[in-house]
Amino acid sequence: MTTATGFAHPEYLVDAAWVETHKADPNLVIVDCDVEPAYNRGHIPGAVLVPDNYEKDPDTGRIHIMPPDKFAAMSQGLGIGDQTLVVAYDNSQSLYAARLWWALNYYGHTSVKVLDGGWRRWVSEGRQVSFARPNSVGSVKFTPKANASIITKTDELKTNCRLSDVVVWDVRSAGEYDGSNSRGNKRVGHVPGAVHLEWLNVMDRDTHRFKPAADIQRMLTQKGITPEKRVYTY
């Protein structure tokens, strides 16, 4: 599925060749996770456009993930049912594709993968580009089953953030971490004791692919993000 090696779960990623081979599979839904203008510039043939690439609930100020009913409706509108294999991609170094990957996993749909390298890889390999929207999807049923083990609440983080076997990983920009850039938030700074490694550092800026597993592991180890620790990210 991918040429990535050394990762604990290489099955979470696919390469463009795999998508090319399987893009017409009846039980596969390819989701473009960029915004509509980007989708309209061209997309993988047959790809559908996610209507909200944050998967956040407007009724709570877009702070929390969509509630189950809204998320199920969105998924069904994309043709994603309980038995569907989903491949997500974007042109933003997998930022939005990873969000959809997580949101689907949170609601119990683990049959989802990310196109490593995303749109840039697809185009750079000279693969076919479409400008047509796919026909309306058939009737499918998405059953949300929230997995509380992969999300944390503020109280839990406040209790655990100073424990010796816990590491809190701040993946935001350096300015957000050190408080020099509020990005509109009421308060600045970071969770006490959090280590900083911006998510962009694990990506190759030129290819939009994940860096080699050994390089990522070395960066994480330097920050104390190691397998025996319980890791919280934000």
How far apart are the C-alpha atoms of 14 and 22, rounded to whole Å?
11
Domain match, 73 and 159 both:
no
Scanning 23-153, the segments in alpha helix (DSSP H) are 36-40, 68-77, 95-106, 118-124
**pTM (whole model) above 0.75:** yes
Distance CA 219, CA 106 (A): 26
- Looking at the fold, whether 96 and 16 belong to one and the same domain comes out as yes
The mean pLDDT of 149-162, rounded to a whole number, is 94
Do 15 and 103 belong together in one domain?
A: yes
Across-strand partners of 181?
none
| 141 in a structural domain | no
| Range 175-181 average pLDDT | 97
Is there a single domain that holds both residue 63 and residue 161?
Answer: no
**CA–CA distance from 20 to each of 111, 149, 205 (Å)?**
18, 34, 23
What's the confidence (pLDDT) of residue 114? Answer: 98
What phi, psi does 76 have (nearest 5°)? -65, -35
**Does 142 reside within a domain?**
no
- With 60 as the cut, is the pLDDT of residue 1 above it? no
What is the spatial distance between Cα 227 and Cα 156, in angstroms, rounded to a whole number?
A: 20
Dihedral sign for Cα 140, 145, 146, 149, please.
Answer: negative
DSSP state of 189: S
Q: Domain check: are 18 and 96 in the same one?
A: yes
**Pairing between strand 195-196 and 166-170?**
parallel
Distance CA 30, CA 38 (A): 15
| 169 and 98, same domain (yes or no) | no
> Is residue 232 within a helix (H) or strand (E), and if so which, with residue range?
strand 230-233
Structural domain count of the chain: 2
Residues 55 and 110 grouped into a single domain: yes
- Look at residue 79 in the predicted model and tell me its pLDDT: 96
Residue 146 lies in a domain: no
How confident is residue 5, by pLDDT bands cut at 50, 70 and 90? Answer: confident
CATH number of residue 72's parent domain: 3.40.250.10
Residue 28 parent element (H or E): strand 28-32
What is the structure's pLDDT at 34?
97
User: Quick one: average pLDDT of 33-51?
Assistant: 97
Share of the chain above pLDDT 90, in %: 92
Provide the 8-state DSSP code for 207. T
Average pLDDT over residues 201-221: 98
Indicate the Cα dihedral angle 220, 12, 119, 196, nearest 10°.
Answer: -20
pLDDT tens for residues 116-155?
Answer: 999 999 999 999 999 999 987 779 999 999 999 999 999 9
pLDDT at 2 over 90: no
Residue 43 lies in a domain: yes
When pLDDT is cut at 50, 70 and 90, the band that residue 172 belongs to is very high
Residues 120 and 156 both lie in one domain: no
Domain that holds residue 189: 152-233
**Residue 172 falls within a domain, yes or no?**
yes
Asked if the model's pLDDT at residue 3 lies above 60, the reply is no
Position 147 in a domain: no
